[in-house]
Amino acid sequence: MKIIKRNGSETVFDITKIIVAISKANETVGEAERMTPMQIQRIADSVVLACEKLGRSPSVEEVQDMVEKQIMAHGAFEVAKSYITYRYTRTLVRQSNTTDDKILSLIECNNEEAKQENSNKNPVVNSTQRDYMAGEVSKDITNRILLPKEIVDAHNEGIIHFHDADYFAQHMHNCDLVNLEDMLQNGTVITGTLIERPHSFSTACNIATQIIAQVASNQYGGQSISLTHLAPFVQVSREKLRKAVEEELAEIGAQVTEEKINEMTERRLREEIKRGVQTIQYQVVTLLTTNGQAPFVTVFMYLNEAKNEQEKKDLALIIEEVLAQRYQGVKNEQGVWVTPAFPKLIYVLEEDNITEDAPYWYLTELAAKCTAKRMVPDYISEKKMLELKVDKNGEGHCYTCMGCRSFLTPYVDENGQAKYYGRFNQGVVTISLPDVALSSGGNMEKFWKIFDERLELCHQALLCRHERLKGTLSDAAPILWQYGACARLKKGETIDKLLFGGYSTISLGYAGLYECVKYMTGKSHTDPAATPFALDVMQHMNDACAKWKKQHNIDFSLYGTPLESTTYKFAKCLQKRFGVIEGITDKGYITNSYHVHVTEEIDAFKKLEFEAQFQHLSPGGAISYVEVPNMQNNLPAVLALMKFIYENIIYAELNTKSDYCQECGWDGEIGIREVDGKLVWTCPQCGNQNQDKMNVARRTCGYIGTQYWNQGRTQEIKERVLHL
């Protein structure tokens, strides 16, 4: 068994240290109050047993809490008092250099929690270490100076989660929909260099990747671009290539038909589209931004977004090439084709591509083939979005999320026009619903009272995020605020007008609806008897957001939080506060947002149908998934699921597996085994457990991760049941 030290590093659990610590406290009290060596040994054995039941590596603090409780359980209150006093004294000493210790552990790459904090960051490389080091300093300043103590304490206790505190000291926002159309059509400026409207499709793709990198370096969340904004440049290249073909033919005196000229032009155009798409795929994968990871970018593929039929046909050419290249994958160090994490792809299901006789059905078939092998694209239903995303004019809209799942709410500008590109999210604070339930002790009246208190805490924390952005000058991130990604403000102008009136959103996140409902009702929220309570909880949070929106003229929106490392943090905090409760706190994770518990047996269609009602109540963003086996030989089933998504739910994805062992060449699923109390990824063919010698891709929170996960998330992945 292992233990997590205070600086985040992991070491072998040593029972003798518990015995020594208790013995030292024992020696400080009078002989009459002392415990016997046998009692001390029993306490140590009990603590070891409790740690083993956790199913994960405990932290030093958790072990010391267990020791305290066991000493008091033995009636040795004077010994317990001595032990607690010593702990408190040592805590005061440590507080002066906690940040230093964490930074040093990051540099030496022995901070286990940091190494598994983000499944798309490699903690060994300098850029990631630099980002983490800056993040520790930022968190230190945030906790000591910038945030009220009650919010910091609630965050540390796992009552709420103040997301991305490592970026809070800077005036940075969360995520956005990049207005690529404006930047390409009207020009932009990158690091002081004027970039004019491109004169070919391939150049437009190249500029797009530079914009993606710049945007990623100036905010901390996901971003999305639309292929529709690249589509007009296909015609620009077509005209340019046709002229070149005609000149070449004239030069050699060849007489050919218009049909032949068109054929030659289109062949060259296809090659240019291929090169342009390749530029996007490989540059996004190989770029490392200032936060030490590839840009978190989503590419949106929506045929009905095109302005005319020719543009739609050209957009279809781009989509086809994007899907074909993603199906192929990218080569790893050994030259083997593997699944990349980014860019994330979203394909819109619409009337033109959802039935076999539709003109773009061939793209849907290609998308299904790609999903079966590479886990993307994910799917948005135009039908459901038009039905549910309705603006104040009564018009429905279909648009992409920002990154993995954060959705803007419908917005109409001063000219009465719907607007989505150029908008952004100010930040997220998440409430732990299981903590609300457990704090109530199962008393329903007390539950709603505590719920309101916790929501008000989130309200104040979200206002801190908003206030931190207020007064930010456009000069802080010119690519965002001055040169078109989000706005075209003047130099020296603040971004304040973009923070009010619904232009941007700010998100109340929530986690663990399943555990909350299970504790309060004794049933899963999928049980018809418990579902109404689950929906009441959702509506209550929506009502709170509506109240805050009216109060401040800020667009508060409920958001289905994508817990990655936080799922482990919340689980540990619940165990610390309430102990191990079967079915509630007995795992190293809690469920994402409203999701059906990963161990619950339910078929794919029923799962999507059930979760659809919760997506509608998460206007700030949410995504559902179904866990499936290898589907490459069962594409009809994939297509059936896609049709079901179109009819029933806004946004969903299929979780397949895509692995490769570099030691033996195994390309099936790489499994998870328990070794000395720790979950370890293991090749089933050769037994390889070296994570540097395998490629593992799993979707955890709406996006694909490739750099592994903490023990809580790894347990969640291991326990997932198939839905098909």
pLDDT of residue 406: 95
Q: For 348-402, write each residue's pLDDT tens digit.
A: 999 999 999 999 999 999 999 999 999 999 999 999 999 999 999 999 999 999 9
Q: Is 564 a catalytic residue?
A: yes
Given a cut of 80, whether residue 298 has pLDDT beyond it is yes
Which one is catalytic: 302, 483, 559, 594?
Answer: 559
- Choosing from 62, 78, 382, 564, the catalytic residue is 564
683 catalytically annotated = no
CA dihedral 508, 509, 512, 517 (to 10 degrees): 30
pLDDT 10s digits, 306-345: 999 999 999 999 999 999 999 999 988 889 888 888 899 9
Condensed to tens digits (0 to 9), the pLDDT of residues 449-501 reads 999 999 999 999 999 999 999 999 999 999 999 999 999 999 999 999 999 99
**H or E stretch at 269:** helix 258-286
406 carries an active-site annotation: yes
Q: Please give the Cα distance from 681 to 718 (Å, whole number).
A: 10
Q: If pLDDT is split at 50, 70 and 90, which confidence band does 290 have? A: low
Asked if 481 and 171 count as a contact pair (C-beta separation under 8 A), the reply is no
Of the residues 57, 118, 174, 710, only one is catalytic, namely 174
- Alpha-helical runs (H) found in 180-231: 180-186, 201-216
Give me the phi and psi of 426, to 5 degrees please. -80, -25
Q: What is the pLDDT of residue 650?
A: 98
122 is catalytic: no
* Residue 133 is a catalytic residue: no
Annotated catalytic residue 402: yes
Please indicate whether residue 425 is annotated as part of the active site. yes
Residue 649 contacts residue 608 (beta carbons within 8 Å): yes
Indicate whether 132 pLDDT > 80. no
Options 406, 524, 542, 648, the catalytic residue: 406
Query: Which one is catalytic: 7, 425, 504, 557?
Result: 425
What pLDDT sits at residue 31? 87
Give the residue among 490, 722, 503, 441 at the shortest CA–CA distance from 603: 722
Gap between the Cα atoms of 367 and 301, Å rounded: 11
| Range of lowest pLDDT (131-135, 256-260, 433-437) | 131-135
The residue from 172, 205, 401, 402 that is catalytic is: 402
* Region 609-625 average pLDDT: 97
Task: Choose the catalytic residue: 51, 172, 175, 541.
Answer: 175
Taking only the tens place, the pLDDT of each residue in 18-29 is 999 999 999 998
Q: Please report which confidence band the pLDDT of residue 99 belongs to, taking 50, 70 and 90 as the band edges.
A: low
The answer to whether 196 is a known catalytic residue is: no
Catalytic residue among 702, 703, 705, 716: 702
The confidence band for 532, taking pLDDT boundaries of 50, 70 and 90, is very high
Query: Rounded to 5 degrees, what angle do the CA atoms 410, 280, 349 make?
Result: 45
- Catalytic residue, candidates 51, 66, 370, 404: 404
Q: Write down the mean pLDDT value for the chain.
A: 91
